[in-house]
Structure 1
Amino acid sequence: MSQAVLAKETNRRQLQQIISGLSDGVILAEIDQTILWANEAALTMHGVDHIEALGANTKEYATRFALRYRNNHPLPLENYPLSRVADGEEFSDVVVEVTPTGDDEKTWVHRLRSLVLNDASGEPELLVLILSDATEWASAEQRFEKTFNANPAPAVICRLSDLRYIKVNQGFLEMTGYNRDQVIGRSVYELDVLEQAERKDLAIQRLGEGATIPQMQAELKLPEGGSKLVIVAGQPLDMNEEDCMLFSFTDLEPRRKAETALRQSEERFAKSFRLTPVPTLVCSADNQQVVDINEAFMSTTGYTSEELIGKSVAEIDFIDGAQNCTRVFAALEKAGNVDNLDLKIRKKGNEVIDCVLSADTVSIQDVPCYLLVLMNITERKRSELELVAAIEEVMQDASWFSQTLIEKLANAKSVNSPNLPSVSFTDLTARERDVLGLICEGLADKEIASRLKLAPNTVRNHVATVYSKLGVHSRSAAIVWARERGLFAGEHRVKPKK
């Protein structure tokens, strides 16, 4: 063996001894890609325990181990790391997935860099591949990728070295309408996620420092024009040993639209409230403090807004009778609304008018309130009372009228008495019911006594008891009471006197 060859072999053995204990994997190969030697770490990274299992050269290695890039594209033979370094290419950070042929369950991730050792004359003598096991790193990155993509919160990641976006999740694409190609590779100046941010100067400073960017509102421009109100925040992170910034977003557009709709609704309510000719008052639900009144209310009651707003309804005392005021708000608290309640309202100066009150619960600027609507029925009530008085006068002697006319008069009178007494027809005894029926026929006491074969005094006692139970004081009132309840209708006709 020549001295030169001996020296060469000695150098290689020394090299092998130096690298055999390294934690990084090392594979040595001839210029023709013949695999000469691998340390234990390199063998372990391939799941084998001897050099022959790697194959004699790159071609045999490729039949035993399938290599793919991280994007799942397979490597052709000419792109295998040994082939690339044999072609004189130097690389420092190639990441590949390594899978044994026929065993897809096992996959390792290797990060490789190349080295070419030259001889004394400067000619390439030995090819070196240095491998590090990136399987755990890749697994963690894969978990991050899945979490990032599955996270419904919109997010993008930009690389701090050139401020270009390298990742975007589905949430961001759905929120903005961008597609992936419109985001990846663009800079933060082209797609400005800090547009019109509340504290943009601070955000830009923090971005330059690679520091956390606090939450702030911003307007995010959309691909089809317009913008979307968002909350944006930035969090620094490391990806593939590169400093990056994760921007996350909260879509405020639904809230802005809801606030706009609410404001428009309240504006329409305010306009309608002021223009309606019906007296209307708004008070808070918790303490019945007057919030607002309209012109019709002031015109009807004589109060000014300064005299009412800020005071409680009870303090103003415009609902006649403290118990009536309590009853109104107790009903509102229980049911949320009141319909057509007869009340007396005291105007400024103590004049009392008859009103019908309807009320409902409304929300004004998220504050529960009661809306009270009044209808002045004083004139109508006066007319009804006059009509009833006339009917009472006419019905003093009901025997002059047909039963149909009596019923019509009773119905006309009943419009002023919607709240009937609590007494029922069944509260009368059988004899009292007979007496009432004959009264409704228009018979006098003597005629009733003859018909029922009773003494006149007995009939008078029955009539008095019927009046007492019904709460009436005359024959006509008893007839009206019966007709209001549809009693004895059509059973008899009153015969006019000859």
Structure 2
Amino acid sequence: MTQPLTSLRDTVALRHLRQIVAGLDEGVLLIDPDQSLLWANPAALAMHGVERLEDLGATVDDYRKRFKLRYRNNHRLSADDYPVERVAAGEAFSEVVVEVMAAGDDEPRWVHQVRSLVINEEDDGAPSCVVMVIQDVTAQFEAEDRFEQSFNANPAPAVICRLADRRFVKVNQGFLDMTGYAKDQVLCRTVYEIDVFHGAERIDLAKERLAEGRTIPQMEAELALPQGGTKLVIVAGQPIDMGNEPCMLFTFADLEPRRKAEAALRHSEERFTRTFEMAPVPMAIGARDGHLLCEVNASFCALTGFDSTEVVGRSLGDLGLWANDEVRTSIEALLDDDQPLRGVEARLGTKDRGEIDCIVSTEPITLGDGACLLWAFQDITQRKATEMELVEAIEAVMKDTSWFSRSIMDKLARLRAPSPDDHGVGISALTAREREVLAQICRGLDDKSIARALGVSGNTVRNHVARIYAKIGVNRRTAAAAWARARGFDGDSFAPTREKSA
């Protein structure tokens, strides 16, 4: 039979009990066997947002009217399920978590974790008072709610496993989107059933750290997909606590787009390499910095006579491929100014010490992570020889032709030098100093004489001459003079301007 309840109301024991529990951080609510509320400590009052016992209600029924309770899953508690009702009935229970709302509120203000305690009389063991012990866990659950919201909203794929049994207890939408799993396919399965470390290079370290509940460093892995196949990811683990249970948070970065991009780049470079090697046009690839060659094709080797092993790692200048220093200086100066070459005429020296007239062009390209320069050469030696033979034949026939018209002479000059339309430059493309140097060339002066006339050093004159050659697309003084006269420019209209002494 149930022991009859004996009230503690107005007893010395009650006063002593109140003195003992008054200063506790936990809330304590004493309930008389007749279901009236005897006393509440300040912590219990504060956990209900009131200052007096009367505000909690005189009885258990009053308490139910003033406060609405529901479980964390939003289900309302029936009258018999209220912790205060169960305490009053003498039921022993522990750690019931409920959300508490004051009457009239739509949303809970507090989260209480409640347990019961029955105080019996020493003589006959009959219950004389029942106690409801309350802990305010609002902050803890608010923090968990914030974590839950941020975890679910975070686009970075993530799952959480419980360390006790290695089972997944949470998964966010980012992980489901990345893998194609459904939520119920992940939850309650273990980290070995959905192997997050598959194919990882440091899988033994990962398993060791997981067993110890320690941080798992980032590592690449092949995450198995539900439809078959794998996805390349970076996975890392961070120990966390959830609901007082040790867990491991796994986060992922999807490397599949990078792998596809690398594969596409590799295929693109392979196609370029095949095209480069099979191209009938002599081509070379060099570094932008220093002009060192890193690759040449078969047509380049056939043109110059050099084997690829003799060329790679050296510059065109070091190989002696430029026929003279003026050509080398002018071309390297343009490249150093980040100016690509477009159809520049230059004479190359071959391995057997022959010379070839070429049109040279360059184009900046990127191979892998490196900035490179693509060189292309067009052999015009035969064309130049045919043109010069024609000019020489005409000049031989017309050797004594002072009566020859100026228009015919201009046409002969244009055969020796390209027209402005051929190279897209005219006299206006030259600087004032370069026009003065060209005027002296037209007068037949050599570099030393030009230096004395202009009051500059021989090196300065040579640099100007090299730049003139590069701009107008010639490589000889006679060709430069012919180019100038074909455009109505000669040295008679230019008086030399001497540099001022410092």
TM tier, smaller: 0.7 to 0.9
* More displaced stretch, 55-64 vs 342-351: 55-64
Instruction: Name the structure 1 match of 2:67.
Output: 65
Instruction: Name the structure 1 match of 2:465.
Output: none
Instruction: Name the structure 1 match of 2:456.
Output: none
Instruction: Name the structure 2 match of 1:169.
Output: 172
- Give the residue type in structure 2 aligned to 1:359: T
Instruction: Name the structure 1 match of 2:273.
Output: 270
1:189 matches 2:166: no
Q: 2:341 aligns with which of 338, 343, 357?
A: 338
Instruction: Name the structure 1 match of 2:229.
Output: 226
* More displaced stretch, 50-59 vs 374-383: 50-59
Whole-Å separation in 1 of the counterparts to 2:39 and 2:220: 60
Following superposition, the deviation at residue 353 of structure 1 comes to 0.9
Following superposition, the deviation at residue 209 of structure 1 comes to 0.9
TM-score (normalizing by structure 1) = 0.74
Instruction: Name the structure 1 match of 2:353.
Output: 350
Q: What are the superposed Cα offsets for residues 133-163 of structure 1, whole Å, 9 maximum, x if unpaired?
A: 1122233333333443444433222211222
Following superposition, the deviation at residue 301 of structure 1 comes to 0.9
Whole-Å separation in 2 of the counterparts to 1:67 and 1:29: 18
Instruction: Name the structure 2 match of 1:25.
Output: 27
In structure 2, the gaps of 5 or more residues are 430-479, 489-502
Whole-Å separation in 2 of the counterparts to 1:68 and 1:112: 13
1:312 matches 2:334: no
- SS of the counterpart of 1:194? coil
Q: 1:217 aligns with which of 216, 220, 233?
A: 220
- Give the residue type in structure 2 aligned to 1:340: G
Instruction: Name the structure 1 match of 2:287.
Output: 284
Structure-2 change in CA distance of 1:297 and 1:238 (3 Å): same
Instruction: Name the structure 1 match of 2:427.
Output: 422
Whole-Å separation in 2 of the counterparts to 1:53 and 1:266: 80
- Preserved contact between residue 290 and residue 312 of structure 1 (Cα < 8 Å): yes
- SS of the counterpart of 1:310? coil
- Preserved contact between residue 336 and residue 361 of structure 1 (Cα < 8 Å): no
Instruction: Name the structure 1 match of 2:248.
Output: 245
Structure-2 change in CA distance of 1:217 and 1:4 (3 Å): closer
The CA RMSD over aligned residues, in Å, is 3.9
- Give the residue type in structure 1 aligned to 2:82: Y
Q: 1:50 aligns with which of 33, 49, 52?
A: 52
- SS of the counterpart of 2:235? strand
Following superposition, the deviation at residue 360 of structure 1 comes to 0.9
Whole-Å separation in 2 of the counterparts to 1:311 and 1:254: 37
Instruction: Name the structure 2 match of 1:38.
Output: 40
Instruction: Name the structure 2 match of 1:324.
Output: 327
- Preserved contact between residue 88 and residue 130 of structure 2 (Cα < 8 Å): yes
Following superposition, the deviation at residue 311 of structure 1 comes to 1.6
Instruction: Name the structure 1 match of 2:257.
Output: 254
Instruction: Name the structure 1 match of 2:113.
Output: 111
Whole-Å separation in 2 of the counterparts to 1:190 and 1:86: 48
> Which structure has the larger Rg over C-alpha atoms?
1
- SS of the counterpart of 1:338? coil
Whole-Å separation in 2 of the counterparts to 1:327 and 1:74: 89
Q: What are the superposed Cα offsets for residues 283-313 of structure 1, whole Å, 9 maximum, x if unpaired?
A: 1111111211111111111111121112222
In structure 1, the gaps of 5 or more residues are 425-469, 483-498
- Preserved contact between residue 120 and residue 129 of structure 2 (Cα < 8 Å): yes
Following superposition, the deviation at residue 315 of structure 1 comes to 0.7
Instruction: Name the structure 2 match of 1:138.
Output: 141
Whole-Å separation in 2 of the counterparts to 1:137 and 1:260: 48
Instruction: Name the structure 2 match of 1:378.
Output: 381
- Preserved contact between residue 384 and residue 416 of structure 1 (Cα < 8 Å): no
Whole-Å separation in 2 of the counterparts to 1:10 and 1:4: 17
TM-score (normalizing by structure 2) = 0.73
